[in-house]
């Protein structure tokens, strides 16, 4: 079929066949061209002109293109839309080729493998991953940040839902699967915005340790195989895979991270207003990334937490040294991504200047650390490697302000290479000679505006305006080019010098590029040392960041209890406090221990129940990150997991209602929580009928109290539940205070013992400026309901006892005629079994199982 096309189009189709899921950027001269469907799709996505060309077939071929020199912007736009781009270059010199120039794809750029551009954020990792399905319900997950070389492995147990949550938690941009996992690929594509790619080969690598779990190892080998195949280069900056051991970190699931707004806000989906936004006082990009990693995975080991706190305390006490450190860190560029660019081969001279400036700060930083006279600080920098030999190489080799391009020279320092100096001297002297020649010719001809110029096509020339041509009567001048307003000439002397100057310039540029490649290869050898240095510097950056935040917002050093008790005195929500500029913020206490592990929180909407619950979780997370916390005093247990059910939102993608999402998140906490966990449940059960919701809420509270023992904060509008304080010894009623002033509700945001006495719901509706007539009617109805003098919404319809409305069944019922039949003995037995169930003492899961068993019997 392809025989009808020209040889060039046949070549295009042959290459395109291997990259069906990518746009093929096919290099033709100074353009990347696209053909056929690629051209139609790209012209729409990039909003560029769609044209056509003759390709040898019966019809003209759709075509569009982008200039080679500005292709990067177009590639970024396609990647932002979730597309892949295969870069196809000429791999042989057209001058030495008969027929079609040989072309090959030199790189496949995907949303997960970008190395530069607007898709990257300085203070965020850019992870892609691979998933391997193991036996039963196990998954191996490998992740890699190609920009920094970081590689990690983790093993998961659970359903595909657990896997999806982990991929979302890691903020994976692209995931690689084997082709036999099409069903998993479909679920990922339907439920997330993650790009799915396929790879069936596994590559052996020293980056994957032999002791790793088999499923995780295969995921790592698949990921490496994909990276090597698509990037087509050595990738020397990739680090050995590091196994993430979940038992070392607090487990915060995706929904809890989202509900607590750790790294982005729920409403705006942005960084501003999140805990990360508040805490980020880092001065380096790699420090910012490490801060986010620490926030995603707070520590479980008390010794490790207290080690961080000890260093934060040191930096907090030493203000002047900390400020000196912050000033030096400003001058440290992103060592991790610079190392990645060196390995990738897209580093330029300006990048090497950034690397040099960064390394020049290391001795100063080390000196500041030693001036603290602290053993714990000295230990942190004891193995710091300033890479002095690399600093020396870059100081000798690269000028202070090099040009951006490495193809036009001008970036190698004088004295670095003798041969290059000779070429530059010849070129410089030649230019001096040209200036002298211009002066001489002006004097000789009397033409004051005579000038010597240069362009790539005609070389050097003498330009004389047409108004002055009559003054020229020198036979040495040979006309070279005619312009509208001037004539350009060449003389024998200029012709002779031109070859010398141009030859020196050409040789100088070629030699500079050759020397730069050699320097880049030498820098490659330092990559492991640079990566280790980056880890130390970024750790210092995050610790000084914690100290800066602690001083700025008056945070205190937390202590950790051995008996699991929690005592927070005058705790604050860190983000809300900052947004309010500390004005009128009301701090609150919290005391939980083995004897009293649960708060039941009542109070009106907008009074601050959710803020109070969140602040307890955020204080605990900050403490286990190794940070000071917003409180006057904080004695905390070390939590192994944090679960939240705050807010309500339908999961429209998977077709789940608000109530189902609520129940699934609650189940996740109830099934996985331990006595060392923290649970925040905000108004559980409000997504269903009042009695159902109240029953579920009470059953959950009883189950957590009797069978789990987690520290729990449970807010509710069901005031009837406050009676549980008399039945559950570990539960305490507290309420968020509100009062009435001149008929208006005033929220005091103060948490006090005991249950709330009023709901203030109508007052809140009044604050929302609902119509006054509506508010007045609501008050009348409320009064009548409270006094029992009016039957709500009764109509003059005769309703028999059998016809009274009841709650809708979850199950399909038989026709009404069948209901009129007398119950059989089998039905009587089922009814008897149903009547015997003590629902109020069952867990939600036990109730569901019992109901399912009865349903099976009924259907037989």
pLDDT along the chain (860 residues), means of 10: 78 96 95 97 96 88 95 95 95 81 95 91 96 92 97 92 92 96 94 94 94 93 97 93 92 92 90 96 97 97 97 97 97 96 94 97 96 93 92 97 91 94 84 89 91 88 92 88 92 86 88 96 96 97 98 97 95 93 85 91 83 96 98 97 74 53 84 95 75 85 93 89 92 85 69 77 66 75 58 37 41 42 67 71 63 71
377 vs 316: CA distance, rounded Å: 13
Write 534-538 long-range contacts (CB < 8 A, 24+): 534/286, 534/335, 534/336, 534/339, 536/380, 536/381, 536/383, 536/384, 537/284, 537/286, 537/287, 537/329, 537/332, 537/335, 537/362, 537/365, 538/284, 538/286, 538/287, 538/289, 538/290
| 673 falls within a domain | yes
Coil, strand or helix: which one is 775?
A: helix
- Residue 12, domain CATH: 3.40.1170.10
Query: In this predicted structure, what is the pLDDT of residue 317?
Result: 96
Q: Report phi then psi at 602, rounded to 5.
A: -120, 165
Report the pLDDT value the prediction gives residue 840, as an integer from 0 to 100: 58
At 211 the three-state DSSP class reads coil
Picking from 126, 29, 112, 124, the residue whose alpha carbon sits closest to that of residue 71 is 29
741 and 845 fall within a common domain: no
Last residue of a domain, one of 729, 758, 787: 758
> Distance of alpha carbon 648 from its chain centroid, rounded?
24
Are 537 and 286 in contact by the 8 Å Cβ rule? The answer is: yes
**The domain that contains 721 carries what CATH number?**
3.40.50.300
| Residue 286, marked binder | no
Q: For residues 169 and 151, what is the distance between their CA atoms, to the nearest angstrom?
A: 16
Estimate to the nearest angstrom the gap between the alpha carbon of 477 and the chain centroid.
66
Rounded-to-integer distance, Cα 434 and Cα 419, Å: 23
- At 151, list the tokens: 């590689």
Residues 173 and 129: their CA atoms lie apart, in Å, by 8
The SS3 of residue 597 is: coil
Q: Do 188 and 314 share a domain, yes or no?
A: no
Shared-domain flag, residues 476 and 374: no
Starting at the edge strand found earlier in the chain, the sheet holding 451-455 runs: 451-455, 459-465, 486-490, 478-482
Q: What is the pLDDT of residue 757?
A: 67
Question: Residue 482: helix, strand or coil by DSSP?
Answer: strand
DSSP state of 31: E
Q: Is 115 annotated as a binding residue?
A: no
Model pTM score:
0.83
Helix axes 335-344, 349-370, angle to 10 degrees: 150
Residue 119 lies in a domain: no
Find the domain containing 675 and state its range. 559-758
Q: How many helices (H) and strands (E) does the chain have?
A: 27, 27
Going by their DSSP bridges, the two strands 641-645 and 678-682 should be labelled as: parallel
φ, ψ of residue 235 to 5 degrees: the values are 55, 50
- Can you give the pLDDT at residue 512? 95
Contact 293, 127 (CB under 8 A): no
Domain boundary among 244, 271, 297: 244
- The predicted pLDDT at position 426 comes to 81
Cα 168 from chain centroid (whole Å): 10
How would you write 266-314 as a 3-class SS string?
CCCCCCCCCHHHHHCCCCCHHHHHHHHHHHHCCECCHHHHHHHHHHHHH
Nearest to 348 by CA among 523, 511, 230, 121: 523
Span between the terminal Cα atoms of the chain, in Å: 61
In a domain, 709, yes or no: yes
Residues 202, 204, 210, 212: is their CA dihedral positive or negative? negative
Do 588 and 714 belong to one domain? yes
617 lies in the same domain as 682: yes
Which token pair is 452?
């010597």
Backbone angles phi, psi at 322, to 5 degrees: -65, -40
Residue for token pair 């119950």: 823
Environment class of 467 (CB within 10 Å of its CB; exposed 0-12, middle 13-18, buried 19+): exposed
Domain membership of residue 681 (yes or no) is: yes
Task: Tell me the HSE value of 325 on the side-chain side, using a 13 A CA sphere.
Answer: 30
Q: Are residues 659 and 696 in the same domain?
A: yes
- The answer to whether 154 touches 243, Cβ cutoff 8 Å, is yes
**Is residue 549 located within the same domain as residue 576?**
no
What's the Cα-to-Cα distance from 831 to each of 691, 820, 842, rounded to whole Å? 22, 16, 18
Degrees to nearest 5, angle at CA 818 with 815 and 822? 155
Q: Residue 13: in which H helix or E strand, if any?
A: helix 7-16
- Rounded-to-integer distance, Cα 173 and Cα 192, Å: 10
| End-of-domain residue from the set 227, 244, 261 | 244
Do 674 and 737 sit in the same domain of this protein? yes
Q: Is 603 known as a binding-site position?
A: yes
What's the number of domains the chain is made of?
Answer: 6
User: What are the start-end ranges of the E strands in 126-258?
Assistant: 127-133, 138-145, 150-157, 174-177, 195-198, 242-243, 251-252
Q: Would you tell me the crossing angle of helices 335-344 and 527-553 to the nearest 10 degrees?
A: 150
Query: Per the domain annotation, does 574 fall within a domain?
Result: yes
- Pair (24, 100) in one structural domain: yes
What's the length of the chain?
860
Does any domain span residue 425?
Answer: yes
SS (H, E, C) 341-396: HHHHCCCCHHHHHHHHHHHHHHHHHHHHHHCCCCHHHHHHCCCCCCCHHHHHHHHH
Residue 606 annotated in ligand binding: yes
Q: Residue 683 corresponds to which tokens in the numbers above?
A: 């108004």
Are both 447 and 581 inside the same structural domain? no
Cβ-based neighbours of 121, under 8 Å, separated by 6 or more: none
Q: Is 234 annotated as a binding residue?
A: no
Mutual angle of helices 527-553 and 285-296, in 10-degree steps: 70
Do residues 424 and 414 lie in contact, with contact meaning Cβ atoms separated by under 8 Å?
Answer: yes
Predicted confidence at residue 324, as pLDDT, reads 97
Within a 10 A sphere around the Cβ of 728, how many other Cβ atoms? 18
767 in a domain, yes or no?
no
pLDDT at 743: 58
- The pLDDT value given to residue 4: 83
Residues 357, 167 contacting (CB under 8 angstroms): no
Q: Are strands 242-243 and 195-198 parallel, antiparallel or unpaired?
A: unpaired
- 234, 622 contact by CB (below 8 A): no
Residue 149 located in a structural domain: yes
Within this chain, do residues 465 and 604 fall inside the same structural domain, yes or no? no
**At 365, which CATH number?**
1.10.1420.10
234 lies in the same domain as 291:
no
The CATH number linked to 223 is 3.30.420.110
Per-residue pLDDT at 96? 76
Residue whose C-alpha is closest to residue 679's, from 735, 741, 567, 598: 598
Beta strands in 717-761 (DSSP E): 731-741, 744-753
Region at 128 (left for phi over 0; alpha for psi -120 to 50; beta for the rest):
beta
Q: Where are the alpha helices (DSSP H) in 469-525?
A: 492-524
DSSP-derived 3-state class of residue 63 = strand
Q: Are 703 and 722 in contact (CB under 8 A)?
A: no
Would the annotation count 272 as a binding residue?
A: no
Quote the crossing angle between the two packed helices 349-370 and 492-524, to the nearest 10°.
Answer: 40
Instruction: Please report the pLDDT score of residue 806 as a whole number.
Output: 42
Cβ atoms of residues 334 and 538 within 8 Å:
no
> 752: buried, middle or exposed (CB in 10 Å: 19+, 13-18, 0-12)?
middle
Q: What is the pLDDT of residue 790?
A: 39
């Amino acid at each position: 079929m392809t025989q009808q096309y020209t040889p060039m189009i046949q070549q295009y189709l042959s290459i395109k066949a291997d990259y069906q899921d990518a746009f093929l950027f096919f290099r033709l001269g100074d353009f990347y061209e696209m053909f056929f469907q690629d051209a139609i799709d790209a012209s729409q996505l990039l909003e560029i002109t769609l044209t056509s060309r003759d390709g040898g077939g019966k019809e003209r071929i759709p075509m569009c293109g982008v200039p080679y020199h500005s292709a990067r912007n177009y590639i970024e736009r396609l990647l932002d839309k979730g597309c892949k781009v295969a870069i196809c270059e000429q791999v042989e010199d057209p001058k030495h080729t008969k027929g079609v120039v040989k072309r090959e794809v030199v790189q496949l750029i995907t949303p997960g493998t970008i190395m530069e551009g607007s898709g990257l954020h300085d203070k965020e990792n850019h992870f892609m991953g691979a998933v391997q399905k193991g036996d039963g319900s196990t998954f191996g997950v490998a992740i890699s940040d190609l920009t920094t070389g970081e590689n990690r492995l983790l093993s998961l147990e659970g359903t595909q839902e657990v896997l999806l949550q982990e991929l979302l938690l890691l903020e994976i941009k692209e995931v690689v699967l084997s082709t036999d996992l099409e069903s998993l690929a479909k679920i990922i594509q339907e439920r997330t915005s993650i790009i799915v790619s396929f790879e069936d080969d596994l590559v052996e690598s020293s980056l994957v340790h032999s002791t790793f779990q088999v499923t995780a190892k295969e995921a790592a080998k698949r990921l490496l195989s994909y990276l090597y195949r698509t990037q087509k280069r050595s990738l020397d900056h990739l680090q050995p895979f590091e196994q993430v051991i979940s038992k070392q970190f607090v487990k915060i699931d995706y929904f809890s991270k989202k509900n607590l707004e750790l790294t982005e806000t729920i409403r705006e989906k942005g960084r501003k207003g999140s805990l990360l936004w508040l805490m980020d006082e880092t001065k380096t990009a790699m420090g910012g990334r490490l801060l986010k990693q620490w926030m995603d995975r707070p520590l479980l080991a008390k010794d490790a937490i207290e080690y961080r706190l000890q260093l934060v305390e040191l930096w907090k006490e030493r203000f002047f040294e900390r400020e000196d450190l912050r000033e030096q860190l400003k001058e440290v560029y992103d060592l991790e991504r610079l190392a990645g660019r060196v390995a990738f081969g897209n580093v330029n001279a300006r990048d090497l200047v950034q690397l040099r400036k960064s390394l020049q700060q290391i001795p100063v930083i080390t000196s500041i650390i030693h001036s603290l006279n602290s053993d714990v600080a000295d230990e942190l920098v004891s193995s710091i490697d300033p890479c002095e030999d690399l600093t020396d190489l870059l100081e000798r080799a690269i000028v202070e302000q090099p040009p951006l391009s490495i193809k036009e020279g001008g970036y190698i320092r004088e004295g670095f290479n003798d041969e290059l100096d000779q070429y530059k001297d010849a070129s410089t002297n030649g230019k001096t000679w040209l200036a002298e020649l211009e002066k001489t010719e002006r004097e000789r001809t009397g033409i004051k505006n005579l000038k010597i110029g240069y362009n790539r096509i005609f070389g050097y020339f003498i330009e004389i305006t047409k108004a002055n041509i009559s003054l020229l009567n020198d036979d040495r001048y040979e006309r070279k080019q005619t312009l509208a307003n001037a004539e350009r000439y060449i003389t024998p002397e200029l012709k002779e010098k031109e070859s010398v100057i141009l030859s020196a310039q050409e040789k100088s540029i070629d030699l500079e590029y050759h020397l730069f490649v050699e320097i880049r290869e030498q820098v490659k050898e330092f990559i492991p040392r640079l990566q280790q240095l980056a880890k130390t510097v970024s750790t210092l950056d995050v610790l000084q960041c914690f100290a800066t935040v602690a001083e700025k917002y008056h945070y205190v050093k937390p202590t950790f209890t051995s008996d699991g008790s929690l005592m927070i005195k005058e705790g604050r929500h860190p983000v809300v406090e900052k947004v309010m500029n500390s004005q009128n913020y009301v701090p609150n206490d919290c005391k939980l221990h083995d004897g009293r592990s649960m708060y039941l929180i009542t109070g009106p909407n907008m009074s601050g129940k959710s803020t109070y619950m969140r602040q307890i979780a955020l204080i605990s997370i900050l403490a286990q990150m190794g940070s000071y916390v917003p409180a006057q005093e904080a004695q905390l247990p070390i939590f192994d997991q944090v679960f939240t059910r705050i807010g309500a939102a339908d999961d429209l993608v998977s077709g789940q209602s608000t109530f189902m999402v609520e129940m699934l998140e609650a189940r996740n906490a109830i099934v996985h929580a331990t006595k060392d966990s923290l649970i925040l449940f905000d108004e559980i059960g409000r997504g269903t009928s009042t009695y159902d919701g109240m029953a579920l809420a009470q059953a959950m509270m009883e189950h957590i109290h009797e069978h789990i023992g987690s520290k729990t904060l449970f807010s509710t509008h069901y005031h009837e539940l406050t009676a549980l304080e008399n039945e559950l010894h570990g539960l305490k009623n507290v309420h968020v205070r509100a009062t009435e002033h001149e008929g208006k509700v005033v929220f005091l945001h103060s948490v006090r013992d005991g249950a709330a006495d009023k709901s203030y719901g109508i007052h809140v509706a009044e604050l929302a400026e609902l119509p006054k007539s509506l508010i007045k009617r609501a008050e009348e109805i409320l009064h009548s309901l409270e006094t029992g003098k009016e039957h709500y919404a009764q109509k003059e319809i005769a309703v028999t006892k059998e016809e009274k409305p009841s709650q809708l069944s979850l199950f399909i019922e038989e026709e009404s005629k069948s209901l009129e039949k007398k119950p059989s003995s089998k039905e009587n037995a089922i009814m008897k079994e149903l009547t015997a169930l003590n629902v109020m003492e069952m867990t939600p899961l036990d109730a569901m199982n019992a109901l399912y068993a009865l349903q099976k019997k009924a259907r037989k």
